[in-house]
Homo-oligomer: A and B are copies of this chain.
């Protein structure tokens, strides 16, 4: 763990990619924001709150925590000005820290882009909605259009094909090959008996046949189908989508094409930057353009209903999942359940179980919704899921906890109130919920992070998979593969803590240390995890930072509005105009940042493109760009289908050979599927860290 902290940031970027390094900076940002806030609020507000006797006099039930919070101050008190001043201080400090961070991340991103080795997506643009032409195919149409309109810069193109059916066949074949290996292993262990299997579904019924021969025939059949399908896809015009990856001779040409409108009809010939080849979500390229709007609308409506009405099906399932219900329906389980300890366990466990299962499944549901919407890159999908998850959390974890009860119940009340009473209703409830949130931070935040370092959940899942699903060595490795850091599950969680922290910073300063401990702990743990455990699935060069920034600004504005509501219930009405300026200033600050920094995350300036091109031409004048780019954007199923008889290593070997020829940036971390690696459970550090340590030795 200490090693994890010692690694300097540039090395971290090289090791794990810019995305991961910037993800860690979110935790650091939390620390940067909240440490001075802690000192300020504790130095000023706690004495102000403590030296009051309001709660004592009001004879209401209270705890010491309440004594430290704003509830302790009587109505009309002038002490509220201290809180107003503190709100200003919190706002200014947060905005200052955000601005500094945005500047730094922008600089890191631009530096990263500048120093990056050559990558196919720097030269490539994704063209969508190519208009159909009776005379020529999509491929010819694309070629002609770009030769005419970008004559000096167009290089080559790769038409997008609908390879979904092909990839299904390839998947099926891989699975059958896996079973074949399993049966072969089983046979080798026990040569006397040939393994048998039933041909029915999941091997539960059907006639008994020789397993190995069955699988070999199946695999042959699938190989033929795959070859046939490949031919079909290449020649059938219906399988060719009106989209293409177009590559240019220079980054400048690609930057120009990506930022300009090509045709008279602005919905045709849409151009945008192509994502990295490994970042492309191939399945969604086959979605026709017209249905995209409809899909987005459907998903927006579905998300609305999910957020506000999810409690209905959950409650329904809950009603089934009580003990009496189970005993009625599955009476054969009755003797087991009646045993006392099991009964007690189930009684404590069941009531919340439907909700818990739903919450566990929620990220997956949101990801499926995002996939349905038709985004084309995995990074985009994750960002979309993350923002939806955050919204869901905001409404159903935060607001629901504060106003007690699900948003469905409260929706009625909200609609009847006038707009400016809304902050009051919520504001009043906030100090009362301070203790609840403290426990929430401790349970969800601290122990969640502790579980992360132990990788408790993956451990459980691994053993489950091992018991039920793993048949071959390959499966075992797949089960152990930790995957990527999962931006769409981790980041909304952090944002919720920002929200809670900012709201309670002025209201109940006692909460701030808990948040700080969480950020510090999570930073250390995740730094270790990123270096030693997780793989990087794609590199988006910190494209998510504008979303992160926007959500923190949102949290800040919400905290200001709620403070206004709270203070108006305390009849410190004269403070309201002062506080009203705060959201306006914050939103103005956000717009400034948007204009000043966000374009670096969306557009590639021509000056940068020209600089990089010039440098590259100076260094490598004889670069064969066409060969490099021609096969960059072929869907992986084609490459896999071609190498079906070879080992999976060939993909990597092919990449390495390509890398030698063309100095392609190789990811430092190889997929664990291919490198023999001792089990993580027994060996604390990974081979890569050992490599790095050896490199560090003089």
Which chain A residues in 288-312 approach chain B with CB under 8 Å?
293, 297
Encode A249-267 as 1/0 by CB contact (under 8 A) with B: 0001001100111111111
Is there contact, CB below 8 Å, between B256 and A605?
A: no
Encode A145-160 as 1/0 by CB contact (under 8 A) with B: 1001110100000000
Query: What's the nearest-Cβ distance from chain B to residue A448, in Å?
Result: 38
Is there contact, CB below 8 Å, between B596 and A260?
A: no
Query: What's the nearest-Cβ distance from chain B to residue A674, in Å?
Result: 39
Query: What's the nearest-Cβ distance from chain B to residue A509, in Å?
Result: 33
Is there contact, CB below 8 Å, between A152 and B149?
A: no
Is there contact, CB below 8 Å, between A610 and B266?
A: no
**Chain B, residue nearest A588 (CB):** B297
Of A185-193, A411-419, A423-431, A678-686, the segment with at least 4 beta carbons within 8 Å of chain B is A411-419
- CB-CB under 8 A for A266 and B600, given A256-B260, A419-B419: yes
In Å, the complex CA distance between A47 and B148 comes to 62
Is there contact, CB below 8 Å, between B266 and A608?
A: no
Is there contact, CB below 8 Å, between B259 and A606?
A: no
Is there contact, CB below 8 Å, between B264 and A608?
A: yes
- The interface residues of chain B lying within 8 Å CB-to-CB of A610 are 148-149
Is there contact, CB below 8 Å, between A267 and B607?
A: no
Which chain A residues in 394-430 approach chain B with CB under 8 Å?
415-420
Is there contact, CB below 8 Å, between A264 and B600?
A: yes
- Check A599 for interface membership: any CB of B closer than 8 A: yes
Encode A122-148 as 1/0 by CB contact (under 8 A) with B: 000000000000000000000001001
- The interface residues of chain B lying within 8 Å CB-to-CB of A259 are 259-261
**Chain B, residue nearest A256 (CB):** B256
- The interface residues of chain B lying within 8 Å CB-to-CB of A263 are 605, 607
- Check A603 for interface membership: any CB of B closer than 8 A: yes
- The interface residues of chain B lying within 8 Å CB-to-CB of A599 are 261, 266
- CB-CB under 8 A for A596 and B266, given A148-B610, A418-B418, A420-B415: yes
**Chain B, residue nearest A110 (CB):** B264
Counting chain B CB atoms within 10 Å of each CB, the highest count among A269, A598, A606 belongs to A606
- Check A676 for interface membership: any CB of B closer than 8 A: no
In Å, the complex CA distance between A419 and B419 comes to 6
- The interface residues of chain B lying within 8 Å CB-to-CB of A595 are 266-267
In Å, the complex CA distance between A607 and B266 comes to 11
Interface size bracket, A side: 35 or more
In Å, the complex CA distance between A256 and B255 comes to 10
- The interface residues of chain B lying within 8 Å CB-to-CB of A152 are 152
- The interface residues of chain B lying within 8 Å CB-to-CB of A255 are 260
Encode A86-112 as 1/0 by CB contact (under 8 A) with B: 000000000000000000000000100
- The interface residues of chain B lying within 8 Å CB-to-CB of A588 are 297
Counting chain B CB atoms within 10 Å of each CB, the highest count among A150, A419, A607 belongs to A607
In Å, the complex CA distance between A110 and B263 comes to 11
Query: What's the nearest-Cβ distance from chain B to residue A260, in Å?
Result: 4
**Chain B, residue nearest A597 (CB):** B266
**Chain B, residue nearest A420 (CB):** B415
**Chain B, residue nearest A605 (CB):** B261
Which chain A residues in 315-356 approach chain B with CB under 8 Å?
none
In Å, the complex CA distance between A265 and B605 comes to 9
Is there contact, CB below 8 Å, between B596 and A264?
A: no
Encode A573-610 as 1/0 by CB contact (under 8 A) with B: 00000000000000010001001111110011111101
- The interface residues of chain B lying within 8 Å CB-to-CB of A145 are 607
- The interface residues of chain B lying within 8 Å CB-to-CB of A269 are 607
Is there contact, CB below 8 Å, between A262 and B606?
A: yes
Contact of A603 among B149, B261, B596, B603 (CB under 8 A): B261
Query: What's the nearest-Cβ distance from chain B to residue A607, in Å?
Result: 5
- The interface residues of chain B lying within 8 Å CB-to-CB of A604 are 261
- The interface residues of chain B lying within 8 Å CB-to-CB of A261 are 259, 599, 603-606
Is there contact, CB below 8 Å, between A262 and B149?
A: no
In Å, the complex CA distance between A418 and B145 comes to 56
In Å, the complex CA distance between A261 and B261 comes to 14
- The interface residues of chain B lying within 8 Å CB-to-CB of A608 are 264
Is there contact, CB below 8 Å, between B605 and A262?
A: yes
Encode A222-261 as 1/0 by CB contact (under 8 A) with B: 0000000000000000000000000000001001100111
In Å, the complex CA distance between A152 and B610 comes to 13
- The interface residues of chain B lying within 8 Å CB-to-CB of A149 are 252, 606-607, 610
- The interface residues of chain B lying within 8 Å CB-to-CB of A416 are 418
- The interface residues of chain B lying within 8 Å CB-to-CB of A598 are 266
Please, could you name 25 A-B residue pairs with CB atoms under 8 Å apart, sorted by A? A110-B264, A145-B607, A148-B607, A148-B610, A149-B252, A149-B606, A149-B610, A255-B260, A256-B260, A259-B259, A260-B606, A261-B599, A261-B603, A261-B605, A262-B606, A264-B607, A265-B596, A266-B596, A266-B597, A269-B607, A297-B588, A415-B420, A416-B418, A417-B418, A419-B419
Give 17 A-B pairs besides A149-B607, A262-B606 with Cβ atoms closer than 8 angstroms: A148-B607, A149-B610, A152-B152, A255-B260, A256-B256, A256-B260, A259-B261, A260-B260, A260-B605, A262-B605, A264-B600, A264-B607, A265-B596, A269-B607, A293-B592, A416-B418, A418-B418
Which 3 residue pairs across A and B have the least CB separation, nearest first?
A418-B418, A266-B599, A259-B260
